[in-house]
Structure 1
Amino acid sequence: MPDWLAAQTLLGIPLYEWLYAALISAVIYLVLYNLWQISIKKLSGIAQRTATRLDDVVLEVLQGTHQLTILLLSLLFGLHVLELPLKWETRLDHVSFIVIGIQVAVWLNRGVGIWARDHIAAINGPTPAVNPVITSVLSWIFRIAIWSVLLLTILANVGINITAFVASLGVGGVAVALAVQNILGDLFASLAIGLDKPFEVGDFIVFGEVAGAIERVGLKTTRIRSISGEQIICSNTELLKNTIHNYKRMEERRVVFNFNVNYATPPDMIAQIPGIVRQAIESFDNTRFDRSHFKEFGASALVFETVYFITTTDFNLFMDIQQAVNLYLMKEFHAHKVLFAFNTMTLNVPDLQPDNSHTGLNGSSGESTTGKRQQAKH
């Protein structure tokens, strides 16, 4: 049997050397597989005992290792013990580099995915989240960079001149950019939203005729849930062209309201009205009085202007307080016999005496008129 194995050859190598290489490959596979399993178990125990996130990420990355990669590496290491022709050794080196490079790229790609997932998941967490737009854009950039570097490295390793290839990619990239410039414009606009952060998911914004809460900021469009219920989808480029009012970031609300009082109100009572308004506003929580003044003489009323602040951004609470202030003023004005004014108009018409000189109702008028007509005829 040994003589037969020595007599039979494959690629000029006896079969017993092939069996020896297969045995070495099996041993290497068992060693690498067990090391991989032991590393995962050790890291899992460390991750459970520590509060840091780094060991959890490393554990998840290692769990993404493919068993096929371990098998291929074991076979390649086993084949290296054979005295293969130079051509085959070079090919084995290239294949080994490709397998290792792909596995490293898979690890890096998985790490980027875990990073993006954790940052986007933090939106619903107790702490403010990183903008999902910048997270999504950066994850795509990192992944494209990883696989692009891998491709160029593999091409360079197998002996292909990548200089001309990179130059052709640059020219092609310019052509593609011109063809999809609108899409790229929205993409860079989403990147600007992520970096500048004029708004985030959950913010209530108003621009143009649109008012609603941000539901999602995508790579091309932003989705807004309007106050009437429908979803509004707006391109990021068009959105940034408008002046945006972000009410979520309003620390307090400034309220200005006017009311009119009848001109018949006595001056002494007019002087007391700002104090009544102040009492009405300061009787509620979450308010800060600023001023109340007899502003001007209106066309049909005395105009008062009041300014106060609500130390919360809740719109419903603002309306509740304003309603309570209005009711308070109505009761106080009724108690002090102060009337609210409404638009009125007074017409001053002078007295007119009736002119009967041309009516012909008395004899003298008739005769005078007849005489004038007779004189006109002569």
Structure 2
Amino acid sequence: MDNFILLAELLKDYNLWGNSAYQYLIAGVVFLISLLVLKLFEKIIAARFSKVVEKTDNQFDDVISEVINSIGGFFYFATSAFIAFQWLETSLYVSRAVNIIFIVIAAREVINGFGRLINFAFEKYLERLEKRNESIDVQQVRTIKKMLRKTIIVILWLIVGTFILANFGINITSLVTGLGIGGIAVGFALQNILGDIFSSVSIFFDKPFKVGDVIQVGEDVGRVKNIGIKSTRLKLVRGEELVIPNKELTSFRIQNYSKANKMRDEVTIGVSYETDEETLKQIPEMIEGIIGNIEGISLDRCNFENYGDSSINFKIIYFADSFDFSLLDKKKEELNYAIFSKFQEKDIDLPFPTRTVFLHQSE
């Protein structure tokens, strides 16, 4: 015991960079003990926790286990060195530098953990959609996930940077104020782009429509081809592609025909004013019979609509079982041919625009 005390006194007499050899010895022992404790945590506690969560049905604890197991040996080494460093006397600048290095290393592990939690949240979201048998745009999901993950990572690193600057004794109040003013200026400059991006996120989570749905925006009707970060693409009935900014899609009313499981269409026909009343009353029944013989469409109603300039008009509203526009056009063509044939059979005239001119001859 006396020899140990004598050795300790001798070590105290040797100084290097403001610390005695005895202090370095204590710091070394603290480093080894800290590293041993952390390694025991990794090998025993973390390993046992992983085995326990494998037996549970809850997937969230699997993610926690994955986050714990992903902590690298370098982090344990850096943590042990940081704890040991507290036993040494150093200058203020060296102490701040060590603190900053440790903050960066620890922040890296925390941010990586948040990234894994984001991945887990999106995987659960995809599973929920699959259980509902909803179609999934995998590319859109990946894009939104990547965007949110990068946004959160940038925000977290900005917070870490703020702590680092504060640790150096820099007054961050004026800096934050300047960044806020700059952020407002950038926000005004990019408000249209940012509006489209946020609208894309809103469409993704709210799901007013999805890829493959037939929607109407204003007077344009088309099938959703792609939902991007800035815009959505529709393939219109006429065949061309329409690109709509996402901000407009969240600002205006949208009719989603796919939610009804059927496509609505209508036809207006006119008959001559010379048609008698009895025949006019039989036209809705004729139309019902005609549509009943055409596969894939069903009649909603047929009504005497109005008196036109040259004809008595009937409106026919029907539903098609398919959202294929080319097939819908073929069904309409088949309906028009059948109506024409039926009217010829019943001697019902289909008028054309006429104008009667009265001439007055002066005496």
Same fold flag (TM > 0.5)? yes
1:211 equivalent in structure 2 = 222
**Contact 2:262/2:323 (CA < 8 Å) preserved in 1?**
yes
* 2: CA distance, partners of 1:285 / 1:48: 55
1:149 equivalent in structure 2 = 159
Deviation at 1:266, TM superposition (A): 6.3
Give 3-state SS (helix, strand or coil) of 2:227's partner. Answer: strand
Deviation at 1:243, TM superposition (A): 5.7
**Contact 1:102/1:150 (CA < 8 Å) preserved in 2?**
no
* 2: CA distance, partners of 1:139 / 1:224: 25
1:356 equivalent in structure 2 = none
Match for residue 171 of structure 1 among 164, 178, 181: 181
1:359 equivalent in structure 2 = none
**Contact 1:204/1:214 (CA < 8 Å) preserved in 2?**
no
Pairing 1:161–2:166 present:
no
2:66 equivalent in structure 1 = 60
* 2: CA distance, partners of 1:20 / 1:264: 114
* 2: CA distance, partners of 1:258 / 1:90: 82
Deviation at 1:36, TM superposition (A): 2.6
2:235 equivalent in structure 1 = 226
**Contact 2:96/2:168 (CA < 8 Å) preserved in 1?**
no
**Contact 2:27/2:88 (CA < 8 Å) preserved in 1?**
no
Give 3-state SS (helix, strand or coil) of 2:222's partner. Answer: strand
Pairing 1:84–2:59 present:
no
The C-alpha deviation readout for 1:152-189, integer Å capped at 9, x for no partner, is: 23333443332222222222223333443443343444
Map of 1:178-327 to 2, 5 A cutoff?
A: 178-190=188-200, 193=203, 198-207=208-217, 211-218=222-229, 221-227=230-236, 233-237=243-247, 244-250=254-260, 252-261=262-271, 268-282=278-292, 289-295=299-305, 303-310=313-320, 315=325, 318-319=328-329, 322=332, 325-326=335-336
TM-score by length of 1: 0.67
Deviation at 1:70, TM superposition (A): 1.4
* 2: CA distance, partners of 1:217 / 1:17: 61
Map of 1:52-131 to 2, 5 A cutoff?
A: 52-80=58-86, 82-85=87-90, 87=92, 92=98, 95-116=101-122, 119=125, 126-128=132-134
TM-score by length of 2: 0.69
1:357 equivalent in structure 2 = none
Deviation at 1:113, TM superposition (A): 4.5
* 1: CA distance, partners of 2:69 / 2:224: 39
**Contact 2:200/2:246 (CA < 8 Å) preserved in 1?**
yes
**Contact 2:196/2:231 (CA < 8 Å) preserved in 1?**
no
**What RMSD, in angstroms, separates the aligned Cα atoms of the two structures?**
4.6
1:32 equivalent in structure 2 = 38
**Contact 1:205/1:211 (CA < 8 Å) preserved in 2?**
yes
* 1: CA distance, partners of 2:357 / 2:15: 128
**Contact 1:223/1:231 (CA < 8 Å) preserved in 2?**
no
* 2: CA distance, partners of 1:90 / 1:100: 15
% identical equivalent positions:
26
**Contact 2:23/2:88 (CA < 8 Å) preserved in 1?**
no
The C-alpha deviation readout for 1:220-248, integer Å capped at 9, x for no partner, is: x1141525777654433455566644333
Q: Which has the larger radius of gyration?
A: 1
